[in-house]
Amino acid sequence: MFRVVLPTDFSDNAFHAISYAVKLLEKSTCIFYLVHAYNPPVYRADYTLGSPGQLGLPDTEKYKAEEALEKTRQKIKAQFNIPTHTYVTHAAFNSLADEIASITNKENIDFVVMGTQGATGAKEILFGSNTVHVIQRTSVPILAIPSFFEFKPPHNILFPTDFEVDYDKANIDFLLKLSKLWHAKLHVLHVSSPSGLDADQEKNKTYLQGMLLEENTVFYDLPDQELIEGINGFQNKAQVELLAMVKNKHSFIERLFIEPIIKNIGLHARVPFLVLPYNQ
């Protein structure tokens, strides 16, 4: 069974990501947590001490959020009606990143599925601020869905890596579990440097190959080039429905957070992006 958090700001982008999650897991037993974190639109003194509900006062923002969440739940049920899927609604006065981190720990969540942008997101930005904060704060995999990506079963998953990751500390097991849902092929992509791999990288590569020995996996070594160029070049030659990367201090993902507006991002903005956590 999967336990999945589905954040929503009630935008079309958010519902698009929810729909993707439901379709992705249509053959699985799931509990989906529909989560909305809210802040008052106008300053109110009672919110400075916590939500009004904690003080025994009416919390109109919470009531509105709960009503909108229930409408979202009913909309999902009407469109999909999958008997093995259960939906729990959850509204809280908090930042989205903090609330997801909290519920992830309390409910033993497997992963989070969310849109790359909110209601006013600009398409030239890879991740909206909420998505970035959730990825940075959360200790479970995050699957970010572009607003214009129409669901396709992930039969081909691209996994770029520099082999600088200790894969024993990365959640590779989740990646494999996800890939088996649709009998996906895992394409492990490495962009070679002129100096080749050092001893640690060779060790990590051997370890990863051992983990994937019995899986449907292909390894590729591309000539020295920029990572985006390598990924886009691969995409032009092969069909890819999902991109997966490990978020560690050396990874390309970390650089994206420092430089959030990326031109010519290509593949990154076109397919769902799975960010795997790394336990330092």
pLDDT in tens, 228-278: 777 777 877 788 999 998 887 655 555 555 444 333 333 445 789 898 988
Last residue of a domain, one of 101, 120, 145: 145
Tokens of 154: 């992930």
**Alpha helices by DSSP H, the chain:** 12-24, 60-79, 96-107, 129-137, 172-181, 199-211, 227-237, 252-258, 267-270
Residue 151 belongs to some domain of the structure: no
Comparing 120 with 131, which gets the higher pLDDT?
Answer: 131
Residue 114 belongs to some domain of the structure: yes
Domain identity same for 94 and 173: no
Tokens of 116: 């790359």
What percent of the chain lies above the pLDDT cut of 90?
48
Q: What is the pTM of this model?
A: 0.85
Closest-CA residue to 62 (of 46, 85, 78, 86): 46
Q: Specify the range with the lowest mean pLDDT, choosing from 39-48, 85-94, 126-135, 138-147.
A: 39-48
Domain identity same for 196 and 244: yes
Q: How far apart, in whole angstroms, are the C-alpha atoms of residue 57 and residue 102?
A: 24
Residue 150 belongs to some domain of the structure: no
Domain identity same for 91 and 125: yes
Domain identity same for 39 and 95: yes
Residue 258 belongs to some domain of the structure: yes
pLDDT at 51: 54
Mean pLDDT of 86-91: 96
Please give the DSSP secondary-structure letter assigned to residue 225: -
Domain identity same for 141 and 181: no
Tokens of 101: 């981190």
Query: Please, what is the average pLDDT of the chain?
Result: 82
- Residue 237: CB atoms within 10 Å: 7
Last residue of a domain, one of 145, 164, 189: 145
Domain identity same for 264 and 177: yes
Domain identity same for 140 and 173: no
Count up the domains in the chain and report the number: 2
Closest-CA residue to 82 (of 1, 121, 123, 26): 26
pLDDT at 3: 98
Please give the DSSP secondary-structure letter assigned to residue 259: S
Mean pLDDT of 192-201: 84
Mean pLDDT of 97-119: 88
- Residue 216: CB atoms within 10 Å: 16
Domain identity same for 6 and 134: yes
Last residue of a domain, one of 145, 179, 202: 145
Domain identity same for 25 and 141: yes
Domain identity same for 180 and 103: no
Range of the domain at 80: 2-145
Tokens of 100: 């997801």
Q: How far apart, in whole angstroms, are the C-alpha atoms of residue 154 and residue 182?
A: 6
Q: Tell me the pLDDT tens digit for each residue of 145-175.
A: 988 889 999 999 999 888 888 898 888 999 9
Q: How far apart, in whole angstroms, are the C-alpha atoms of residue 129 and residue 9?
A: 13
Residue 276 belongs to some domain of the structure: no
pLDDT at 253: 55
Domain harbouring 186, CATH code = 3.40.50.620
Q: Looking at the predicted structure, is the pLDDT value of residue 79 above 90?
A: yes
Tokens of 195: 């100096």
* Contact indicator for 157, 185 with CB cutoff of 8 Å: yes
Comparing 206 with 38, which gets the higher pLDDT?
Answer: 206
Domain identity same for 196 and 115: no
pLDDT at 239: 87
Q: How far apart, in whole angstroms, are the C-alpha atoms of residue 13 and residue 112?
A: 15
Domain identity same for 58 and 130: yes
Q: Looking at the predicted structure, is the pLDDT value of residue 195 above 50?
A: yes
